[in-house]
Amino acid sequence: MSYGPNPWQQAHWDWRAAGNFICGGAGSGLLVFAALSGVPDPGLSGLILGGLALVWLGLFCVWLEIGRPWRALHVVFNPRTSWMSREALTAMLLFPAALAAATIMPGLLPVTAALALFFIFCQGRMLRASRGIPAWREPLVVPLIAVTGLTEGAGLFFFSALLHQAGTPGLLTLFGALLLARVLLWLAYRKRLARQAAPRALAALDRAGRWLQIAGALLPLTLIAAIAIGATPAALAPLLAASAGFMAVLAGSFMKYTLITRGSFNQGFALVHLPVRGVRQ
């Protein structure tokens, strides 16, 4: 690593940190869609437990990244100023609420969905708080991360619909709206980032952006439109919806992985005035 006035890539958050944003966001989004779906048991319990397992896997990735893993509980000691602490505290409420909703108290499902939404919001604010990294501090990163998590949750829901057979036209329309919102947010985010981020960061983000626009928006939206207008046999509709969901999840995961690990160049040293010998400043 070479320190100096030019931007360099941060090395503190790696694939394990990216795993938290990928799994935690997708799992929380799946919990939200499970609450909206009206799937009867045992399918509903399976969706809740699957979403919760993904959130746990994301937090486990973070635990692996901590230099002293057995001091992980220290993360909850600063909720007044730290969005990471708020994420951890939200998870401590989310797990018992989701487990209860999946087993003995289905009435807690709206509470589970609300906690899952706040969990995704905390993830976006965690990135926004990293002021030294242009790709993270951009305000649009918060809605981008939130909408991406919900889109991935919708994708997982329709991918698993091959088993629970609970996809409805209304939910499919919502999935399409999320896909469109995600790509529009990405385009706006990338435009605002053009004058801030390092060229190597922008190059990495552009590669992920192409996947997000084609495999994560254009192709899934085409499949959803084909289902909506009845251009395909009804028997193929669940398979096409599952394919759209799979592509949406992969493209979103790749975007978040790139954002955390490849697009995370800081701004370098910001020196407004350089001292010159013999010249008064």
What CATH number did the domain enclosing 102 receive? Answer: 1.20.1630.10
Pair 238, 141: CB distance under 8 Å: no
**What is the residue whose two structure tokens read 């790709």?**
135
Whole-angstrom distance, CA of residue 230 vs CA of residue 235 = 11
The total number of structural domains in the chain stands at 1
Q: Pick the residue with more confidence: 79 or 231?
A: 231
Query: pLDDT for 189-202, tens place per residue?
Result: 999 999 888 899 99
* Any domain includes 7: no
Q: Pick the residue with more confidence: 14 or 66?
A: 14
What stretch of H or E contains 189?
Answer: helix 169-193
Q: CB-based contacts of 22: which residues, under 8 Å, 6+ apart? A: 58, 253, 256, 257
* DSSP characters over 92-106: HHHHHHHHHHHTT-G
Bridge partners (DSSP) of residue 265 are 9
* Any domain includes 272: no
* Any domain includes 1: no
Pair 216, 252: CB distance under 8 Å: yes
Query: pLDDT for 214-246, tens place per residue?
Result: 999 999 999 999 999 988 888 899 999 999 999
- Alpha helices (runs of H) in 69-168, residue ranges in sequence order: 83-102, 109-128, 134-137, 141-164
Query: pLDDT for 141-190, tens place per residue?
Result: 999 999 999 999 999 999 998 888 888 899 999 999 999 999 999 999 99
pLDDT at 123: 95
Structure tokens at 140: 């649009």
Instruction: Select from 148, 150, 252, 137 the least CA-distant residue to 201.
Output: 137
Query: pLDDT for 82-109, tens place per residue?
Result: 888 899 999 999 999 999 999 999 999 9
Query: pLDDT for 270-280, tens place per residue?
Result: 666 667 777 66
Could you tell me the pLDDT band of residue 130, with boundaries at 50, 70 and 90?
A: confident
The half-sphere exposure of 24 on its side-chain side, counting CA atoms within 13 A, is 32
Q: Pick the residue with more confidence: 66 or 225?
A: 225
Q: pLDDT averaged over the chain?
A: 90
Segment 57-67 shows an average pLDDT of 84
* Any domain includes 276: no
In terms of residue numbers, what domain contains 63?
15-261
* pTM for this predicted structure: 0.90
pLDDT at 2: 52
Whole-angstrom distance, CA of residue 96 vs CA of residue 109 = 11
* Any domain includes 274: no
* Any domain includes 179: yes
* Any domain includes 3: no
pLDDT at 41: 83
* Any domain includes 277: no
pLDDT at 62: 85
